Amino acid sequence: MKTKVLLLLLGLLFVTGAYSQSTVIRVPLIGETAPSFTAESTNGTIMFPEGYGRKWKVLLSHPADFTPVCSSEILELASEQKEFDKLKTQLVIVSTDDLERHINWKKSLESLNYDGNGQQEINFPIVDDHTKAIANPYGMIQPNSGSSKDVRGVFIIDPSNTIRALYFYPGTTGRNMEELKRTIVALQTSDKETVLTPANWEPGKDVMLPYATSGSDNTAAANPDPNTYQLTWYMMYKKQK
């Protein structure tokens, strides 16, 4: 009887929101379907991720508009827009600021010459999440920090809307956009060629074959393909032409 009463009380606390936020907020993991949302943005109403069809998608969260590190990240992404277009990848930016603040920040950013790149148009949407309807299902707010600001989150989502990679940076540290592009290229290469990418891999470098392919002392003799070679029996490489 006591157990039933306790469970009932816990259920009521969850419903009313009185229970600790740390027990209900979780980060969606690799292999899970990306949580959907419809929201207002600097590009109008968007539906994510379904609204972007068979593209790859990158959802990036940031703590606040009109802050130094966030501003440098947005300007760097804007300067790399053509590179992401080549990768058929849609960028979507989100924070807990409201739409009016996003619009004013965007106008200010587009007037700047950052890192010698000249003034940049910001073509990707910056999404209003002042209700935290996006931040919560994506686990972007640290529940015990006392802050209502998003961490610097990154979710890389494939054309089937599955989360393929994610990482978080602290508020003091800007993200490396070259690493973001490298990760997307690595994932696309793995999907296309059924291969792996080794440590510090960069586009154009040799890739690795899955363990099921390389896991034999006799693999090299059995496989006459001149484009493959072994470092040892459990590490087989494939040359990138």
- pLDDT digit string (tens) for the chain, length 241 residues: 555 544 444 444 444 443 344 446 789 999 999 999 999 999 999 999 999 999 999 999 999 999 999 999 999 999 999 999 999 999 999 999 999 999 999 999 999 999 999 999 999 999 999 999 999 999 888 766 555 676 889 999 999 999 999 999 988 999 999 999 999 999 999 999 999 999 999 999 999 999 766 555 555 445 568 899 999 989 999 998 7
pTM more than 0.95: no
Phi first, then psi: give them for residue 87, nearest 5 degrees: -85, 5
> In angstroms, rounded to a whole number, what is the distance separating the alpha carbons of residues 143 and 181?
29
Report pLDDT for 215: 55
Q: Which CATH class is domain 28-177?
A: alpha beta
104's tokens? 């004013």
> In angstroms, rounded to a whole number, what is the distance separating the alpha carbons of residues 229 and 208?
9
Report pLDDT for 217: 53
212's tokens? 């099921």
**Residue 166's closest CA among 186, 185, 152?**
152
Report pLDDT for 232: 92
> In angstroms, rounded to a whole number, what is the distance separating the alpha carbons of residues 143 and 19?
12
Q: Looking at 58, 70, 166, 195, which residue is catalytic?
A: 70
Report pLDDT for 110: 98
Report pLDDT for 171: 85
The residues spanned by each domain of the chain are 28-177, 194-241
Residue 70 bears catalytic tag = yes
Report pLDDT for 225: 81
**Residue 110's closest CA among 79, 68, 80?**
79
